[in-house]
């Protein structure tokens, strides 16, 4: 084998190795997004199971606050539906409604001293608040994974392999402006 053939085969081998490395990195990013989503999904399911218990506990004390309780349960249903469909945009919107409903529920609960003193309510409130914090943390990790994936599949030369192997960009989990602005506690008691 002459030197030019050796150089040619060496260059082909180097290009193949580089392409394989790029492909494997894209696969890793795709699976990191899926893993980050499944971490959120577990927490959403746990919260989904806790909310009816909270509403039932509140019903015992908050007979005249049915509208608040119904809003929480409707939002819970919307979150569950969006989660099951994998519709990230609808999930963000439903999450916003649920968080606002829970904020209203906890604010209204302040007017019911017996409810606030109830051990079951305190436990559920603490559990749901903990799940909310965990969801927020996991959402940040998910969005970072999505961002890394989306950047890589648009960068050259990764974009060539991404298009060849049909890697898709993923949607960020974003909440509406309502979610991120300060809550007006006075309006909740008006």
Task: Give mean pLDDT, residues 27-56.
Answer: 92
Q: Which of 51-65, 91-105, 169-183 is predicted with the least confidence, judged by mean pLDDT?
A: 169-183
Contact 110, 103 (CB under 8 A): no
Task: Give mean pLDDT, residues 27-43.
Answer: 94
Task: Give mean pLDDT, residues 20-44.
Answer: 94
pLDDT of the residue at 89: 85
For the chain, what is the mean pLDDT?
86
pLDDT of the residue at 64: 60
pLDDT of the residue at 150: 96
What band does 23 get if pLDDT is binned at 50, 70 and 90? very high
Q: Is the pLDDT of residue 28 over 70?
A: yes
- As a whole-number percent, the residues of the chain with pLDDT over 70 amount to 91
Q: Provide CB contacts within 8 A for 45, sequence distance 6+.
A: 83
**CATH code given to domain 3-188:** 1.20.1440.20
SS (H, E, C) the chain: CCHHHHHHHHHHHHHHHHHHHHHHHHHHHHHHHHHHHHHHHHHHHHHHHHHHHHHHHHHCCCCCCHHHHHHHHHHHHHHHHHHHHCCHHHHHHHHHHHHHHHHHHHHHHCCCHHHHHCHHHHHHHHHHHHHHHHHHHHHHHHHHHHHHHHHHCCCCCHHHHHHHCCCCCCCCCCCCHHHHCCCCHHHHCC
Instruction: Write down the domain spans for the chain.
Output: 3-188
Reported as a single tens digit per residue, the pLDDT across 100-145 is: 888 888 888 888 888 888 888 889 989 999 999 999 999 999 999 9
pLDDT of the residue at 184: 47
């Amino acid at each position: 084998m002459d030197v030019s053939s050796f150089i040619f085969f060496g260059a082909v081998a180097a290009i193949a190795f580089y392409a394989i490395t790029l492909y494997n990195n894209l696969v890793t990013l795709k699976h990191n997004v899926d893993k980050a989503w499944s971490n959120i999904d577990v927490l959403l399911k746990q919260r989904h199971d806790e909310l009816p218990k909270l509403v039932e506990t509140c019903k015992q004390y908050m007979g005249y606050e049915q509208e608040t309780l119904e809003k929480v349960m409707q939002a819970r249903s919307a979150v569950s539906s969006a989660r099951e469909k994998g519709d990230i945009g609808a999930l963000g919107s439903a999450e916003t409604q649920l968080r606002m409903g829970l904020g209203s529920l906890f604010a209204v609960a302040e007017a019911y001293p017996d409810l606030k003193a109830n051990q079951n309510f305190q436990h559920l409130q603490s559990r749901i608040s903990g799940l909310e914090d965990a969801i927020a943390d996991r959402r940040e990790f998910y969005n970072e994974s999505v961002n890394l994936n989306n950047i890589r599949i648009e960068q050259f030369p990764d974009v060539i392999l991404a298009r060849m192997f049909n890697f898709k960009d993923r949607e960020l989990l974003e909440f509406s402006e309502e979610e991120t602005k300060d809550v007006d506690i006075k309006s909740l008691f008006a």
